[in-house]
Amino acid sequence: MNTMTTLFGGLAAVLVLYAMGGWVRSLPPMLRAVLAGVVPLAAYFSLIVGQWPGLDVVAMHISIFLAAALVLYTISQFRQRGAGRLHWAPRLLIGFFVGLVFLNAALLQISTQGLPEPLARWWLGSEGGAVYSGFSGVVSHGQNAAKAVSSELSETHRESRLGWQVEFSGLEGSGLTRLIQVRVKDRTGLPVDRVEAELSLQRPGAARPTLTLPLSAAEAGIYMGSLGLPGTGRWLLELRLRQNGIVHFHSIQELVAS
């Protein structure tokens, strides 16, 4: 399920439910607002069962749905009092929450889809080629970055000594489903068998992978699997090849799905 669809679809559901609640005269305004915010939220939770989108995305839905219900309650209470024009304080509150919705939506769009190409070229500059990417590098940033760099260099040195030739196919296209094939040869060009091949998929900057896919051996030196991307946007695909429990090859590539 697309996050922008659930975000704005749930917001529309809040408005519709609050308007329908006005037909029930015995329903208190506060309970009417609570139901308008909680019912779409419960529906959203049922949609993401087994497809956890991340705590930040869930928190965004919670805040926007409940904030929209609060704004509707504030407007209706002011109108019931018949105070004429809306006071500047409620108008400021409404403007703040409307701006919050669009700001969150824009940040969510950028985090998953990246900057729009014209804006990225203007902001980051370019000399004929794209310079913007969601790929943050092979070493994660943090207090243990120096150790990670040393480990990465040691791993690269082992790979160069081993001399495996790894061919990656199936990344072409922009769909959500990709048939991945990894062909592994040794230094002499012979296929390498008994390899544990594993793919990990995650968003740029995420601490943990969204999914992990083991590749099965189709024949000697060829390992395949069907990769289903959970959503559109930019993804980092990490490949690890192990033999006898030791990582002999490691690579990270960027995928873009639309």
Instruction: Say which CATH number the domain at 167 has.
Output: 2.60.40.2550
Return the minimum-mean-pLDDT range out of 60-69, 145-154, 165-174. Answer: 145-154
Question: Is position 140 within any domain?
Answer: no
SS3 sequence of the chain: CCHHHHHHHHHHHHHHHHHHHCCCCCCCHHHHHHHHHHHHHHHHHHHCCCCCCCHHHHHHHHHHHHHHHHHHHHHHHHHHHCCCCCCHHHHHHHHHHHHHHHHHHHHHHHHHHCCCHHHHHHHHCCCCCCCCCCCCCCCCCCCCHHHHHHHHHHHHHHHHHHCCEEEEECCCCCCCEEEEEEEEECCCCCECCCCEEEEEEECCCCCCCCEEEEEEEEECCEEEEEEECCCCEEEEEEEEEEECCEEEEEEEEEEEEC
pLDDT at 54 (0 to 100): 72
In a domain, 14, yes or no: yes
pLDDT (0 to 100) of residue 84: 60
Same domain, 226 and 156: yes
Query: 10: how many CB neighbours lie within 10 A of its CB?
Result: 20
Residues 238 and 199: beta-carbon distance below 8 Å: yes
Whether residue 150 sits in one domain with residue 117: no
In a shared domain, residues 109 and 165 = no
Q: Is the pLDDT of residue 258 over 70?
A: yes
Of 29-38, 131-140, 173-182, give the range with the top mean pLDDT. 29-38
Both 15 and 87 in a single domain? yes
Whether the Cβ atoms of residue 72 and residue 15 lie closer than 8 Å to each other: yes
Q: Which of 66, 88, 121 is the last residue of a domain?
A: 121
Domain contains 137: no
pLDDT classification of 99: cutoffs 50, 70, 90? confident
On whether both 66 and 150 belong to a single domain, the answer is no
| Residue 207 belongs to some domain of the structure | yes
Please tell me the predicted confidence (pLDDT) of residue 145.
47
User: What are 188-228's pLDDT values in tens digits?
Assistant: 888 988 889 999 998 877 778 888 999 999 988 999 999 88
Domain presence at residue 250: yes
User: How confident is the model over 20-62, as pLDDT tens digits?
Assistant: 988 887 888 889 999 999 999 999 999 888 777 777 788 888 8
Q: How many domains does the chain have?
A: 2
53 vs 69: CA distance, rounded Å = 23
In a domain, residue 138? The reply is: no
| Same-domain status, 153 and 117 | no
The answer to whether residues 101 and 173 belong to one domain is no
CA distances from 52 to 1, 56, 63, 134, 238 (A): 11, 11, 17, 21, 20
Mean pLDDT of all residues in 159-168: 74
111 in the same domain as 169? no
Kindly state whether residue 88 falls inside one of the protein's structural domains.
Answer: yes
Q: How many CA atoms lie within 13 A of 232 on its CB side?
A: 14
Q: How far apart are CA 1 and CA 230, in angstroms?
A: 8
What is the span of the domain harbouring residue 85? 3-121
Shared domain for 72 and 116, answered yes or no, is yes
Same domain flag for 67 and 13: yes
- The verdict on residue 226 lying in a domain is yes
Sheet holding 233-243, edge to edge: 165-169, 177-185, 222-228, 211-219, 196-202, 233-243, 246-257
Q: What is the pLDDT of residue 162?
A: 64
